[in-house]
Amino acid sequence: MIKDKDSITGSFHFVYIVTLIVGTIIQFSDESEFTVDMSNMNLTHVPEDLPPKTKILDMSQNNISELHLSDMSYLSGLKILRISHNRIWWLDFSIFKFNQDLEYLDLSYNQLRNMSCHLIRSLKHLDLSFNDFHVLPICKEFGNLTQLQFLGLSATKLRQLDLLPIAHLHLSYILLDLQGYYAKESEKGSLQILDTKTLHLVFHPNQLFSVQANMLVNNLGCLQLTNIKLNNDNCQVLIQFLSELTRGPTLLNFTLQHVKTTWKCLVRIFKFLWPKPVQYLNIYNLTIVESINKEYIHYPKTALKALTIEHVKNEVFLFSQTALYTIFSEMNIMMLTISDTPFIHMLCPPPSNTFKFLNFTQNVFTDSVFQSCSHLVRLETLILRKNKLKDLYKVGLMTKHMTSLEILDVSVNSLEYDRYDGNCTWVGSIVVLNLSSNILTDSVFRCLPPKVKVLDLHDNRIRSIPKPIMKLEDLQELNVASNSLAHFPDCGTFNRLSVLIIDSNSISNPSADFLQSCHNIRSMSAGNNPFQCTCELREFVQSLGQVASKVVEGWPDSYKCDSPENYKGTLLKDFHVSPLSCNTTLLLVTIGVAVLVFTVTVTALCIYFDLPWYLRMVFQWTQTRRRARNTPLEELQRTIQFHAFISYSEHDSAWVKNELVPCLEKEELRICLHERNFIPGKSIVENIINCIEKSYKSIFVLSPNFVQSEWCHYELYFAHHNLFHEGSNNLILILLEPIPQNCIPSKYHKLRALMTQRTYLEWPKEKSKHGLFWANIRAAFNMKLTLIAENNNAEAS
C-alpha cells in the first residue's frame, strides 16, 4: 500500500536501456514468431538454418569467435542482435551491409581488439564495452550514426580527441569501460566528451582508484561511477577526477556503485559534493573499512535534496556509534535513505534539521529510536520497515512530536499491542499507516491514529474487527488481507471506506449486506477465501454480480468454492442453487400445496373407486378372522355341511324359493339360505362367511336387483376370496335377468370382472329350454359328499 518515497535517484542510464529494449520488444511483440533465442547453447558459429524473417536474434553466452557476411546477409529484416559474452576478436562491420534495419547491436564482453568502420546508419544502440580495445574504437564513420542514442566503449588509454568524430551527436547514454585503464604517474589522460545526458564509467573492481584524466562533458545530467576502491591516500585522486565532471550546472544525479572506502574518505566525498549542483546522491553496495572515528563536518548550504545509501557492509567492528550516526543526523537535506545496513540506532537530529523524508528500511533499529525526539517537526514520511520494533505503543509515542508526519511505514517488524486501556499516543497528522507483516491481533484497533485514511494491516493475526472500537471516521482504504477474519467489517464503524482488501482470510459465509450498506466502496478485493457454497452465499454472489466488475478486484478468477466437496474449485459466478431449496417459507408452502393436491387426488380416487366400501368390507372380514382365532380349536373343526349357498336379492326370492330351491332339493342337495341357516347372535358378515365356508358351492342369482343390493356384493366378495383362498372352483353364476354393463356401479368392479371372465348360466324364458338349464345345474354337483349335520338338533330334524 505504501511505497517508499524514493527520489528520482535511479540511474538515468538504466531507465534509458530498459525503455529502449522493452520498447523495441513491444514494437515486435505481435511478431514473436520472428524472435530467435539461441543464447547459452555453446555455439561456435552462427547457425545456417535461421529463419530468413528473423527480426530479433539472441546468441549471447556462446563461444562464437567470428562473424561472416554469409551469417547475416539473408537476415534482411533483422532489427536486434545480441551477441555479447562470446569470443569475437575481429569484426568487419561490412557484414551487416544487408541488414539496413538493424537498430540494436550488443557486442559487449567479447575479445575485440580491432574492427572496420562500415557502420549501419540505422543503429540506435551500439555496445562495444568490455572488450580489449587499446584506444577508443571511434572512427569518422561514427559521425554518420545520427540516430545513435546509446554507445558503449572500452579503452586502456584516453586521448583528448578520440570522441571528436561524434562531437555533433546528441547521445543519451555513454558507457565507458576503463577496467584496463593504465597511465604512468607522469602521464595524465584527457578526454572531451562533448554532449551526453548520462555518462557511466566502470573501473577495475580490485584496484585502487588511480585514473588521472580530465573529462569535459556538456549537458551532463547523470554521472555514474562503478567499482571505486579508496583509502585515505588516494581519496584526493577521486576528488580531483570529479572536479571537472561535477562543475557543470546540469549535473543533477550522481551515483556510486560498488564502493569500498574508509570512513574518513567517505566524509571527504560528502564535503566535496555538498556545495556542488548535484541534487540526488546515490551510493549502492558500500563497504566501510579500516576505522570509524569522529569526523568534523560543517554542512554548508547545498542543492542536494536526497541521499540514498543502500546495502552497506561495515568491516569495522569497534567504533564510536555517535561518530557514525552524527554524520547522517546533522545533514541539512530533505530526504535521507539508509537501507540494508547494520545500523542499530539513529540520533535525534538538531532542531535546525530539514528532514521531510527518512527511510531506514532493513536496519536493526529498536523501539528506542527517536524516543523523546522533538526536532523532527518537518518530517512528513518515516519508513522503518524490516527492523526490530516490537511495541506498537512505543511506536505511537515516538511520533508524538512529529507534527507534520503524514506517512508512517513500520511493516515487517515484530510489533504487538497487548494493552487493554486503549490509551495510545499518536500524532494527529498521520493519514497513511502501514502495520503489515507484524504479529498484531484484534487489539490493534484500540491503538490507531484517529485521522488515518489509509491503513495496511495485512499479514497479521487479526481474527475479528471489534465493533466497540474507536471511530475511524476518516478511514478510506483498509487492507486486512492474509489474516484470519471470518466476516467483513462493519461500515458503520468505517463510514467513509472506499477501498477494502480482505482476500486470503477465513471468510466462508460473507454477508450480502456489506455491499448494500457500504455505499462508498469503489474497490474491493475479497478473493482467495474459503467460500462455503451454500444457500447463505447465494445472496452474496448475487450482490457481487450487481456491482461493476471494476469494483470487485480479481473477479471472477480469485473467487472459488472451498466446500462442500462437490463444489470445490467452482468459480462463484458458476455456482447456482435452486431458490426453492434456499427459501424455507417457499419450500414449506410448496410442500403444503403438494400434500394438499395429493390428498385431494387420493380422496377423489377413493370416492371414485368406492374405497370406503372395500375398507368396511376388509374391516368386517378382519374382525371375523380375529374372532375365529380366539375360538377354541375344537370349534374350528369344520366340514362341508351344504351343497350350496344361495345369494340373491329379496326381489328375486320368489324365483329362488319356487324354482331354484325345490329343483335342487329334489336332487337331494342340501341348500343354505340366509333366512333359515344364519345363526342368531352372530353378525351378518360372520354368518355370510360361515355359510360360504361350509358350502361346497356358492350360487349367485344375478339380476338388476342383485346389483342394487350391498349385502349381495359382500357375499360375492367373500365367496370370490374363498375361491382363491381354497384353490377350488366353487362359484356358480345364474343370470336371472340381463344386466346392462352401464347399470353395474363402478365400485363393483369385481362383479364386472366375474361376468367377463367366468361362464354363467342364463335362465331361459322359454320353458322348452328349462330342462337343459337344470341339467347344467345338476352337472355342477358332480360328486357325492358325506354331509355332517351342523349340530345335533339339525341332525334330528
| 578-607 pLDDT per residue, tens | 776 676 676 688 888 889 899 888 888 777
Q: Are 106 and 127 in contact (CB under 8 A)?
A: yes
Residue type, 447: C
Q: Long-range pairs for 568-577 at CB < 8 Å and ≥24 separation?
A: 570/533, 572/531, 572/533, 572/537, 572/541, 572/544, 573/541, 573/545, 575/533, 575/537, 575/538, 575/541, 577/533, 577/534, 577/535, 577/538
Q: In this predicted model, what pLDDT tens digit does every residue of 134-176 receive, in sequence order? A: 998 998 888 899 999 999 999 998 888 888 888 888 999 999 9
Q: Give pLDDT tens digits for 266-288.
A: 999 999 999 999 999 999 999 99
More confident call, 658 vs 253: 253
pLDDT digits (tens, 9 = 90+) for 625-673: 565 555 554 554 455 788 888 888 888 888 888 888 888 888 888 888 8
pLDDT digits (tens, 9 = 90+) for 397-441: 999 999 999 999 999 999 999 887 767 899 999 999 999 999 999
Flag whether pLDDT at 744 surpasses 80.
Answer: no
| Exposure letters 130-164 (e unless 16+ CB within 10 A, then b) | bbebeebbbeeebbbbeebbbbbbbbbbbeeebbe
> Among 382, 364, 385, which residue's Cα sits nearest to residue 373?
382
The span from the CA of 148 to the CA of 163, in Å, is 14
Query: How far apart are alpha carbons 74 and 95 in whole angstroms?
Result: 11
Residue 419: per-residue pLDDT: 81
Please tell me the total number of residues recorded for the chain in this structure.
797
Nearest Cα neighbor of 266 from 247, 287, 252, 244 is 287
Determine the pLDDT at residue 49.
Answer: 87
User: What pLDDT does residue 724 have?
Assistant: 40
pLDDT of residue 18: 43
Residue 704 confidence (pLDDT) above 90: no
DSSP single-letter state for residue 763: P
Q: Quick one: what percent of the chain has pLDDT higher than 70?
A: 82
Determine the Cα–Cα distance for residues 127 and 105; give it in Å rounded to an integer: 6
Distance CA 560, CA 691 (A): 78
Look at residue 772 in the predicted model and tell me its pLDDT.
79
Residue 255 has pLDDT above 90, yes or no: yes
Is 137 in a helix, a strand, or coil? coil
What single DSSP character describes residue 679? P
Burial label for 551, CB within 10 Å (0-12, 13-18, 19+), is middle
346-351 LR contacts (CB < 8 Å, sep 24+):
346/370, 347/322, 348/372, 348/373, 348/374, 348/375, 348/376, 349/373, 349/375, 349/376, 350/375, 351/375
pLDDT of res. 224: 97
Question: Which of the two residues, 783 and 484, has the higher pLDDT score?
Answer: 484
What average pLDDT does this structure show over 233-250?
Answer: 90
State the DSSP string of 64-101.
-----HHHHTT-TT--EEE--SS---EE-GGGGTT-TT
Q: Nearest 10 degrees: CA dihedral of 82, 87, 88, 89?
A: 150
- Helix or strand run (H / E) with residue 409: strand 407-409
The pLDDT score that the predictor gives to residue 3 is 41
Q: What structural domains does the chain harbor? A: 343-506 (3.80.10.10), 509-598 (no CATH), 640-790 (3.40.50.10140)
* Per-chain mean pLDDT for the chain: 83
What is the reported pTM?
Answer: 0.71
Residue closest to 763 by CA, chosen among 717, 719, 700: 700
pLDDT of residue 721: 56
* Whole-number pLDDT of residue 618: 61
Percent of the chain with pLDDT over 90: 43
pLDDT in tens, 8-59: 334 444 444 444 444 444 344 444 558 999 999 999 999 988 999 999 999 9
